[in-house]
Structures are given as C-alpha cells and as structure tokens.
Structure 1
Amino acid sequence: MDSSQIKHFDYIFTGTGLAALMTVYKMVQSGDFEHKSILLLDENLKKTNDRTWCFWEKNETIWNSIISKKWDWALFANENFKRDLDLKPYQYNQIRGLDFYNFVFESLSKHQNITFLNEKVTDINELETHVFVGTEENRYTADYVFNSIYTKAFAESQSKYPVLQQHFVGWFVKTDVEIFNPKQATFMDFSVEQKGNTRFMYVLPTSKTEALVEYTLFSEKLLPKEEYETEIDNYLKNLGIESYEILEKEQGSIPMTCFPFWEKNTKRVLNIGTAGGWTKASTGYTFRNSDKKSSELVEFLQDSILLNLKDFHQKNRFWFYDLLLLDILYRHNELGSSIFSSLFKKGNPALIFKFLDEETTLLEDFQVILKCPKVPFIKALFRVVFR
C-alpha cells in the first residue's frame, strides 16, 4: 500500500473496551477534541451483553441513566458468620455491558470526527513522528495510540510479580419461589467449600425471583466449566431453590497482578484498561478504576501541549498494598476467606470502600490494614522489600 493512501488520525484507540469507550466519551463531552480525528478499532462489534459491571459510589455519576439496579445493603458471609452491611453513604450499582456500549456509541455517532471500524488489530509500530497501526484489512497512522488489547504474555512470562485470576461463571436465574432479597446484594459468601483456594458466591438480586448468581475464585488456575456450574446449582439448592430457569450466562477471567504494565508505555503509545494496569489488582474491580483513570487521561491530554505518554502513569502506595495481598494469596491461596472476613466482620463498610477506591488518608489506611491478620502481611512485607 502506498504511504500516501494510508489514512492518518490524531488518535487511534486499539480495542474498544470499557477504558477506551469511557475515555473517548469524556473527550467528546469535554468539547475540547472536536478538531481531533479519532479512530476506534475493534474486531468485536459490542452488540451483545457480554458482561456486567458493578461499582460503589456516593454521588451521581455521568453513568446514572444506564444503572440497571442499585443496592443500599450487602451481605458478607463465611462458614461461621453472616453480616448485613449498611453501605451508606455508598450505593452498590450495576451496569449491563450492552447498555453501556449502546449509550456510548449513540453519543459518539453524532460526531463526525470519530470513526469506528470493525477490524482486528495485528500490529502497532512506533516511529519517531507517528505510530503505524495494522489490521487484517488496512494500515493507519496516528500521532498517538491508546491500546487496550491485553497481551497475556507480558505478565505471565515473568516471575517477579504474582499473577492470579479472578475467574467466574455467572447465571442469571429466574426461580419459581420468592427467595431473593432485591434490596441486598451478596458481596462475598465464603460459606462454599474453599478446596484450598479463595472461593465465594456473589449474588445480585434484581427481584424476589431473579438474580445473577456467580461462582468466583481468586486463584492461579481456571477450573473446568462444569465445576463452576455444579457449585452454582448446589448453592441454589442450599438456598431452597429446587426449580429455576437460566435466562443468561456469563463467564470471565480478569488478571489480578501488580505487574507494571505502564513500563510498556512509550512516548506515543499508552496502554490503558487491563492492558495498562487499570484493573484494581487486589479485587479485580474495573469500572470505578477505569472511570477515574479515564478522567485523569482526558485531563492529561487537555493540559499537555507536547505530549509524552510515558509521563501519564503515577505509582502510589495502594499499588504496594495490593502487591502484599497478592503475594499472600499466590503463596497461600487458602487464606483469602480469613483475610476478607477479618476486614468485613467488624470493619466499617464505608471506610473499606473508600480504601479500595484508593481515597483514604494514611491514618485511615492503617485503620483498615490493622483489621487484617498480621503474620501473613508481615511475612509478605519482608519478602517484597528484600526481593
């Protein structure tokens, strides 16, 4: 292909997952990028409800119109105790993937400077003055590229930083009996058999007879699909549900690692989303972190005249806290239930959420951390510091 025929854009987004779409949506809302040409490339058309995102929030957000359900209460449980958590001043919010995609794409379609192409990205090559992006069909160039295509090998081909997976299978079920409490989400129920891992059930009821019931593990290895499904079926039976209909299924595996993905960033290519370490490493939560990071990125692009995308990432102390927890769970995966139980048994839910959102003061950090079992964290601290 003649280089004169290669179409040039100011910005190219390779992959149109949560992080990319949040960032482009906020660029549009700011009104500061109308003169910039933006290309979105993805092999997936984003026409299916492929995932469910949840996040806690105190205030109204720009996503309020697509929140499908809110909960003011949550349940935490293990084999020994149950605790009803009053989430105030927070609410736990649910957004369906398809509702998010439709909302964002409808907004972007009104702007002529934005192009979406259903093409699979094959390579990204940075030169001194621009970046080449190749797809199976075409080649493009851009001043800057924002990549959210996750490269598994980066994290999993090294041994310095542990890599766990938050892996799950979920069923949207409709029951014949009124069994669920639609005002309360089950945040973590560790009463299921742990089998040497960190395993829990996660339940999001939308009515007395409908809920998303998800079997989740924080562990290194995935299970055969039938094992997740057997556990969900057993859990429903233990709740007293003999008859139910499966309306939808979802499954996923989210990497949980403190691997410094940002070290792969260059002057003109920035990794975003899971590919850029935007997923909260200790919990696998993605929505809230991506919401904050995408706002920071748009502000960074607005404020910088001579962009060097390597300058965007700033490491903080919460990265180090996550590293300690993942080190423990990687070596002793069976400790997950006791660690999370120690946090939620007597801890203030609002303070825990604030801590997980990385918004606490140093004093508040210690109030949360001191609830955790001391010995595993002290050992992890020595391992990490002297590694």
Structure 2
Amino acid sequence: MNKLHFDYIIIGAGAAGLMLARAMAEDAYFSNMSILVLDKDQKKENDRTWCFWEKGPGQFDPLVSRSWDQICFKGRKTSEQFNIAPYRYKMVRGIDFYTEYLKALKNTHNLDLRYEEVIEVNDTGTSVTVKTDQNDYTASKVFNSIFNLKEAKKQTKYPVLQQHFVGWRIKTDRPVFNSETVTYMDFSVPQKGNTRFMYLLPLSNNEALVEYTLFSKDLLPRKVYEQAIETYIDNKLGRPQYEIIEREEGRIPMTCYDFAQHNTRHILHIGTAGGWAKPSTGYAFMPTAKKIPIVIEDLKRGKPLNSIRFKNRFWYYDLLLLDVLFHHNQKGHLVFESLFKNVSPRSILKFLDEETTLLEDLRVIWGCPKPIFIRILGARLQYRQ
C-alpha cells in the first residue's frame, strides 16, 4: 500500500533538501520517524556547479573535483592575483553531490524518495497537506525548497536583484588557462549599465568552466549571455578552437526580503526558498550546510518551525550593498575594485563567511567607496523613519 502520511516531508532533492534528509537519516533521534523526499527530477544530469571556500579539510572534500588557493580579480583598470591560503576555493559538481547523497539515502529504512511534482502545500493548523501530480500527502512537518520570487517582487522595502548567469564548460585545442588560478571576477567585459563580469574555473590548462554573470534586476535573452562568452573566448583567450562539453545556467535571488515570514508552525522554507543564500553574493551551498545542524537541533528541541531564524548583523551589511547595486547598478564594478584594492582577499572571505569581529567588519566596510555608501546609508536610515 502506498503510504500517504509521514512525520516529515522534504520537498526538493537539491542541496538543502538532501543535506537535511541525510542529517536526519544519520541522527538516531529520527530513526523511528517516517520521512518522505519529493522531487520531480531524478537528478541524473550535472545541472549546476557549487563553489565555496574554507580553511583546511571539510565535510564535502570527497566530492570536491577541484580546488585552488589562488584567485584573480580583474577590474576595469587593474588586475591582481592573490594567494588566499589558508583558504582553498573548492568546486563540487551537482551530479557528484546528487549521486553520493542519493546513494547514502537509498537504504535508509524510514525514508522514501518519490519523483512527483508538488502542486500545493497547505498548513491546516494541526498538520500539513502536500498535493502532488500523483498523490495527496499529509505530514506533521514539511520542509519546502520550492523557490518563489513573486512575493519579494511585490514589495519595495527591500531591493530585489538577481545573480543570473550562463556557463560553458569548454575544452580547447591548446593550453590557454592557468590551471592553478580561479578568475573570481573579471570586470573587463563591457558593463552596459549593469554589474557584469566573467567567472572562470580552470579544470586543466585546456579545460574550464566559463560563466557570464550579472548582478541586476532583469534577465537577458539567452543568446546575449552566449555571445558574451564567445567574445570573451575570442578576445581574452586568444581565439582557440574549442568544444562545449557541458552547459549550465541559473539565477539566484539577491535580496534581504524576509522569506522566513512565509514559514508556519509546521512548514519551514529551506535553501534559497528560505532566504538561505547570502543576499550580497548569491552563495548558498556552505551557508545552507551551516544552517542544517541548527535546524536539526531546533527540531529535537520541539521548536515551532516559524521560530527558526538566522538574521544577524551581516544582514544589514548585505542590505547596504544591495541598496548600492540596486540604485547604482552601473557602478558595481567600482565597489568591487575598491574592495579588492583596499582589503586583503582573506579578510573579504572571512567577512563573507560571517566570521569577522565588529572591528574587522568596519575595516572591510571602510574599503568600499565611501561617498556612495554614505549616501545610500543616509537614504536607508531616512526610509526607516
């Protein structure tokens, strides 16, 4: 008989959903509780690449396909290469993550994985109903990773930008890449009134992931991204012959909008849907990994899901930067050039990891263009009055 009631339902077998499912499967507290993971996709393709930085070895090292301790930043007028040790910049391919985590969950006796499309989720006050294209389920608690930007776009209190990109993994006929250095941001491409840069992950001297990325409000036609990549390969890499091995594309919200306000006592939005991506950068993989243990402990303490919050002082820093990018999107390259010119990359990474002291915070913030930020801070303070 097809079981239709579960203690926990996890909607989405992406990074957040699978991290949470595995954490629950490995914790004895949940061993007698039923868990269902729902996703419409069987995760058999490499649909994304996750990158993050950390000091020394970490829990995802078995899945890391490449790592680097050198990064390059290119502004409109400057180019700098940095050694970020003791940090390493690490890359995890989506397909490797899915394969490993789904394999680990396969033989979990109290966990089911079903491939169905979720149509509706509703907190009844005592439980949650989940309607899919195949079944109607109920659960005591639901963790929902289905992202919806519509509510954020309806309001004006917080700016809403997107990090949107198209990437090609290419193999060239000759060595054109420095395999030891990640091009973290290359702003030498035309800005066209936005914040636009190239991001390059070299896998070898003749293979790399090349992504055209924007921080802006609106998406572009796909051909615009691809034309930019083609031009970059011709103008910056010396016109090599190449083949496209894989393609990927994505969009990540960049906003301080409070997605957590949509949580209920029995529904918790997780991952990007819960606002877990860092607003100022779009990085979500490690921020999610750091939040999962907190969620697990809160569940074991019996906390209502709508009481689980992660807001801290870094949220205010993110809001200030997003205000700048929203109102002066064409000046984004100036912000990042100033930051990398005046602050060590190790300090920047520590700051983005939200591990700095208040004094260290101020040193990083002081490295940004002061006139723009002072005006934006004044406008934000006036807005709140």
| Residues 178 and 209, structure 1, Cα contact 8 Å, conserved in 2 | yes
In the TM superposition, what whole-angstrom CA distance separates every residue of 1:92-133 from its partner, at most 9, and x where no partner exists? 000000000001000001201111111111111112321111
Secondary structure of the structure 1 residue equivalent to 2:277 = coil
| Residues 21 and 37, structure 2, Cα contact 8 Å, conserved in 1 | no
Tell whether 2:357 aligns with 1:361: yes
Q: Which residue does 1:262 correspond to in 2?
A: 260
Match of residue 121, structure 2, among 124, 130, 136: 124
| Residues 75 and 187, structure 2, Cα contact 8 Å, conserved in 1 | yes
Q: Which residue does 2:100 correspond to in 1?
A: 103
Match of residue 243, structure 1, among 241, 244, 264: 241
Take 2:42 and 2:147, find their aligned partners in 1: how far apart are those partners? 17
Tell whether 2:131 aligns with 1:134: yes
| Farther-moved stretch of structure 1 (87-96 vs 293-302) | 293-302
Say if 1:20 and 1:95 are closer, same or farther in 2 by CA, change over 3 A: same
Take 2:2 and 2:253, find their aligned partners in 1: how far apart are those partners? 39
Q: Which residue does 2:315 correspond to in 1?
A: 319
Take 2:314 and 2:305, find their aligned partners in 1: how far apart are those partners? 22
Match of residue 186, structure 2, among 171, 175, 189: 189
Tell whether 2:202 aligns with 1:200: no
Match of residue 228, structure 1, among 225, 232, 237: 225
Paired AA for residue 353 in structure 2: D
TM-score of the aligned structures, taking structure 1 as reference length: 0.96
Take 1:172 and 1:260, find their aligned partners in 2: how far apart are those partners? 35
Take 1:386 and 1:314, find their aligned partners in 2: how far apart are those partners? 26
Secondary structure of the structure 1 residue equivalent to 2:179 = coil
Q: Which residue does 1:338 correspond to in 2?
A: 334
Tell whether 2:11 aligns with 1:17: no
| Residues 180 and 209, structure 1, Cα contact 8 Å, conserved in 2 | yes
Take 1:242 and 1:322, find their aligned partners in 2: how far apart are those partners? 39
Take 1:93 and 1:275, find their aligned partners in 2: how far apart are those partners? 24
| Residues 11 and 38, structure 2, Cα contact 8 Å, conserved in 1 | yes
Secondary structure of the structure 1 residue equivalent to 2:130 = strand
Q: Moved runs in structure 1, 4+ residues, more than 3 A?
A: none
Which residues of 2 match residues 161-200 of structure 1 at below 5 A? Answer: 161-200=158-197
| Farther-moved stretch of structure 1 (4-13 vs 192-201) | 4-13
Q: Percent identity?
A: 50
| Residues 56 and 92, structure 1, Cα contact 8 Å, conserved in 2 | yes
| Residues 6 and 141, structure 1, Cα contact 8 Å, conserved in 2 | no
Tell whether 2:211 aligns with 1:214: yes
State the 1:84 CA deviation: 0.6
Say if 1:13 and 1:277 are closer, same or farther in 2 by CA, change over 3 A: same
Aligned residue pairs, count: 382
State the 1:6 CA deviation: 6.8
Tell whether 2:382 aligns with 1:386: yes
State the 1:346 CA deviation: 3.4
Take 1:333 and 1:309, find their aligned partners in 2: how far apart are those partners? 36
TM-score of the aligned structures, taking structure 2 as reference length: 0.97
Secondary structure of the structure 2 residue equivalent to 1:206 = strand
Secondary structure of the structure 1 residue equivalent to 2:189 = coil
Secondary structure of the structure 2 residue equivalent to 1:204 = strand
In the TM superposition, what whole-angstrom CA distance separates every residue of 1:339-361 from its partner, at most 9, and x where no partner exists? 01111123111111010011111
State the 1:187 CA deviation: 0.2
Match of residue 159, structure 1, among 156, 161, 167: 156
| Residues 179 and 241, structure 1, Cα contact 8 Å, conserved in 2 | no
Q: Which residue does 2:325 correspond to in 1?
A: 329
Secondary structure of the structure 2 residue equivalent to 1:193 = coil
In the TM superposition, what whole-angstrom CA distance separates every residue of 1:267-290 from its partner, at most 9, and x where no partner exists? 111111111000011011111111
Unaligned runs of 5+ in 1: none
| Farther-moved stretch of structure 1 (195-204 vs 310-319) | 310-319
Secondary structure of the structure 2 residue equivalent to 1:32 = helix
RMSD value over aligned CA atoms? Answer: 1.4
Take 2:94 and 2:358, find their aligned partners in 1: how far apart are those partners? 35
Take 2:334 and 2:92, find their aligned partners in 1: how far apart are those partners? 30
| Residues 257 and 281, structure 1, Cα contact 8 Å, conserved in 2 | yes
Paired AA for residue 320 in structure 1: Y
Take 1:39 and 1:182, find their aligned partners in 2: how far apart are those partners? 42
Match of residue 64, structure 2, among 63, 67, 85: 67
Take 2:324 and 2:240, find their aligned partners in 1: how far apart are those partners? 38
| Residues 175 and 241, structure 1, Cα contact 8 Å, conserved in 2 | no
Q: Which residue does 1:299 correspond to in 2?
A: 297
State the 1:5 CA deviation: 8.5
| Residues 177 and 241, structure 1, Cα contact 8 Å, conserved in 2 | no
